[in-house]
Amino acid sequence: MGLTGLDIFKLLPKTNCKECGKPTCLAFAMALAGKKAKAADCPHLSEEAKAALEGASAPPVQPVKIGVGETRFKTGEETALFRHDEKFYNPTGIAVTIGDDLDDDALNARLEKINALQFERVGERIAVDLVAIENKSGEAEKFAAAARKIADKTKLNLILISSEPGNMKAAAARVGERRPLLYGADRGNVEAMTAVARDAGCPIGVKGESLDELAELTQMIKNGGVEEIVIDPMPRGPGDAVEKFTAIRRLALKKSFRPLGFPIIAFAGRDDPYRECMEAGSFICKYAGIVVMHGCEAWQMLPLLTLRMNIFTDPQKPIQVEAKLYKVGEPHENSPLLCTTNFSLTYFTVEGEVESSRMPSYILSVDTEGTSVLTAYSADKFNEKIIHKAMDEAEVEQAVSHRKIIIPGYVAVLSGKLEEETGWEVLVGPKEASFIPRYLKETWK
Ligand code: SF4
């Protein structure tokens, strides 16, 4: 829990010297509490106050970065228990396992399948994030060689899974430049594993059978010089998992309990592919930072990635497309011009139906702050003036010569006003997008 403005004020020199750019120490304290100032802006803080303020401003769930460069995966830094309070920030990473005991052909085939697990949904690419390489052979050289082969054939980030520090060291040495997560520290090997992670400059994954044990192990790892940690509370089933994951998030956020303020890694059960998928779904909802799957079928991944997309969307901010004139196919001056709102689901539904009509068309997406047609109309965000402005800004006159615009059937009531406002002929389209192909075929000659 962060400090309040008054808590912060008590730590300040109270001289009101204004050097921080604020008129008083109290104003500075309030700005700091509201994250509108930095502790470093006050040059007169005591060492004790600096330490207290820095500790309080650290995120309750530490960030952990796996990988390097643009495709680097980041987890942690969550600040809310419920997404209606505040959005969840870093989407759960989905990892798929691959064993180092596979022969070359099987390894390549599985990796190819994992690499292909990417889809497009409402204009966004959704895909798995990580490959989890398991040291099933128990051999250092096989593990290291498999890690290298996989690293050379995928851009996905890597997790190395082994509880043998020597094997982990060998694999980390071969793929260290990819900054993999080294998973497998436990009570028996924590010191040696910490040393491997520290020397390789990699984040570490640690498991413990109870939250107390896990809290103790994370402190040992931090004392050993590794800051980026993901934790596995080793649940005994999906119910126990959700209970433990919730307790961890609650302790981190509500009690500022730093020893458990780390992202969680969760392993979905492998016995049944349907159950695996359901377990992974519940882990995404509550509160895994990474979910490791064994199954890698598209039918398993697509629903999980879709669920993840929904959970990590800001509920206070509807997903929207850019408000502009879109082309479907290669439209020309006589092509239909349809108009809709910039709510992603609405826009892509319309676009999909226009595409399936096989009639090259223009779609004018109007900025309604990401709301759907009826919601936007009710909130007066989709009226004749706003549509007219969108038409002008998109220069639709340059695109088509017929001066006809098709509006959604649900706002037929707008047609007269829009005609008066724009001087264009307004055609009322169908209420349901699924009727667009038939509508275009029958009305657009
Ligand atoms: S610089 Fe520090 S001491 Fe001076 S007004 Fe700001 S908070 Fe107070």
Number of C-beta neighbours around residue 326 at 10 A: 19
Give the mean pLDDT of 40-69: 87
Type of residue at 293:
M
Pick the CATH number of 5-57 from 3.40.50.300, 3.10.20.340, 1.25.10.10, 1.10.15.40: 1.10.15.40
What does the domain layout of the chain look like in residue ranges? 5-57, 64-311, 325-443
Q: Which region, left, alpha or beta, applies to residue 380 given φ > 0 means left and ψ of -120 to 50 means alpha?
A: left
How many Cα atoms within 13 Å fall on the side-chain side of residue 118?
A: 11
Model confidence at 52: pLDDT above 90: no
Please give the distance, rounded to the nearest whole angstrom, from the Cα atom of residue 309 to the centre of ligand 1: 43
Residue 268: pLDDT band with limits 50, 70, 90:
very high
Model confidence at 201: pLDDT above 60: yes
Tell me the per-residue pLDDT of 388-420, one tens digit each, with 9 for 90 and over: 999 999 999 999 999 999 999 999 999 999 999
CATH class, 325-443 region: alpha beta
Tell me the per-residue pLDDT of 148-178, one tens digit each, with 9 for 90 and over: 999 999 999 999 999 999 999 999 999 999 9
Kindly report the protein residue whose alpha carbon is nearest to atom 2 of ligand 1: 42
Give the mean pLDDT of 116-121: 92
Domains 5-57 and 325-443 share a fold: no
Under DSSP, the state recorded for 305 is: H
Mean pLDDT of all residues in the chain?
94
Beta strands in 43-134 (DSSP E): 64-66, 73-75, 93-99, 118-121, 124-127, 130-134
290 vs 314, more confident: 290
Please give the distance, rounded to the nearest whole angstrom, from the Cα atom of residue 17 to the centre of ligand 1: 5
Q: Please give the pLDDT value at position 37.
A: 84
Distance, CA of 165 to CA of 224 (rounded, Å): 15
Under DSSP, the state recorded for 379 is: T
Q: How far from each other are the two terminal CA atoms of the chain, in whole angstroms?
A: 64
Number of C-beta neighbours around residue 191 at 10 A: 13
| Cβ partners under 8 Å of residue 376, min gap 6 | 341, 343, 366, 368, 369, 382
Tell me the per-residue pLDDT of 15-31, one tens digit each, with 9 for 90 and over: 999 999 999 999 999 88
Atom number, ligand 1, closest to the C-alpha of residue 24: 5
Per-position DSSP letters for 325-370, written without gaps between them:
EEEESS--TTS-EEEEESBHHHHHHHHHHHHHHT--EEEEEE-STT
Q: Please give the pLDDT value at position 60.
A: 87
What topology does CATH give the domain 64-311?
TIM Barrel (3.20.20)
Q: Please give the pLDDT value at position 376.
A: 95
Q: Is 17 in the pocket of ligand 1 (CB under 6 A)?
A: yes
Give the mean pLDDT of 295-307: 96
Tell me the per-residue pLDDT of 316-342, one tens digit each, with 9 for 90 and over: 777 889 999 999 999 999 999 999 999
Residues in the chain: 445
Q: Please give the pLDDT value at position 240.
A: 96
Kindly report the protein residue whose alpha carbon is nearest to atom 7 of ligand 1: 25
pLDDT over 90, % of the chain: 83
Residue 32: pLDDT band with limits 50, 70, 90:
confident
Please give the distance, rounded to the nearest whole angstrom, from the Cα atom of residue 257 to the centre of ligand 1: 30
Q: Is 22 in the pocket of ligand 1 (CB under 6 A)?
A: yes
Tell me the per-residue pLDDT of 35-48, one tens digit each, with 9 for 90 and over: 778 888 999 999 88
Q: Please give the pLDDT value at position 2.
A: 62
Residue 54: pLDDT band with limits 50, 70, 90:
confident
Atom number, ligand 1, closest to the C-alpha of residue 18: 5
